[in-house]
Amino acid sequence: MVDLREIPALRAWRAAERAAGRRVAFVPTMGALHAGHLALVDLAARLAPTVLMSVFVNPLQFGPGEDFARYPRDLDRDRALAAGRGVAALFVPAVEAMYPPGAETRVVPGPMAERWEGAQRPGHFAGVLTVVAKLLNLVQPDLAVFGQKDIQQVCLVQRMVRDLDLPVEIHVGRTVRETNGLALSSRNAYLSSADRTAALSLSRALRAADLAWRGGEAEALRLHSLMMEQFHMSIGVTVDYIAIIDPDTLRPVERADGGTIVAVAARVGRTRLLDNHILGTEFC
């Protein structure tokens, strides 16, 4: 695996891949890799012969008081995992390379970013879209793979790619779960063992909605209350939102169809967790 730290090295590597006629698939990450990221690499490798991964903890997408400083970082471990999974090149830029002094331009998302995560984390999605746009411009991949777990991020990246005519295909990798249902996340590292038990209420709530919908219940209010019931039994969990929403607008729906997104965010101890399910897809 090639280690790329500097932007000129990345550009030279990319030019060589282009000259060799190889399609490049890109997996952007903030590191602290887990099996969910590696599944994105597997998907990328099925779609293109060369996979490039980036590891960059993007300061722009963390608000004041959020976990930027304590976000888990272990580059040696990430490097070993990426290389073991067949990643051809790992791009690990410094903050100063991505945001040199004087950098001030931002990608400002539309109203889709004001709901749900955007309402809880003002400025978060401008930070995400700015770094994703920069990474796409730097890497110039044929395709990029994002995880379904951050579903609003996926929808906003897809929207940005359409709105700004960015020449890249966006692919979405399914959420990977532990056998007990907990969605894999780098932030699971913050959970105590009691938190991990409490955190199961998120996937239980999604599963309850999925089962009810498959059983014929399409009323969003009813699905919402079935989901809330799962949290009444959990101690130490505070629900931030349950969203039953249209995938194109992220607005709440009254009746859920195939393709409707059911998303949940909750605080478990000091950790905010997200999970979601797209109705009509298999609950993994």
Catalytic residues: 37
Q: What count of Cα atoms within 13 Å lies in the side-chain half-sphere of residue 149?
A: 23
Taking CB under 6 A as the rule, does residue 131 contact ligand PAF? yes
CB of 164: closest distance to ligand PAF in angstroms? Answer: 16
CB of 198: closest distance to ligand PAF in angstroms? Answer: 24
Q: Which is nearer to ligand PAF, 131 or 183 (CB)?
A: 131
Binding part of the chain for ligand PAF, among 9-17, 124-132, 236-244, 253-261 by CB under 6 A, reads 124-132
Query: Structure tokens of 282?
Result: 């298999």
Q: Which of residues 134-153 bind ligand PAF (CB under 6 A)?
A: 150, 153
Taking CB under 6 A as the rule, does residue 78 contact ligand PAF? no
Taking CB under 6 A as the rule, does residue 265 contact ligand PAF? no
Binding footprint of ligand PAF, residue count (CB under 6 A): 10
The H-assigned helical ranges of the chain are 7-19, 35-47, 75-84, 95-98, 117-120, 124-139, 151-163, 193-214, 220-232
Binding part of the chain for ligand PAF, among 1-9, 128-136, 250-258, 262-270 by CB under 6 A, reads 128-136
Distance CA 274, CA 116 (A): 11
Distance CA 36, CA 175 (A): 7
Q: Which is nearer to ligand PAF, 132 or 161 (CB)?
A: 132
Taking CB under 6 A as the rule, does residue 128 contact ligand PAF? yes
Which residue in 10, 17, 25, 29 binds ligand PAF (CB under 6 A)? Answer: 29
Distance CA 86, CA 7 (A): 22
Q: Which residues bind ligand PAF (CB under 6 A)?
A: 28-30, 58, 61, 128, 131-132, 150, 153
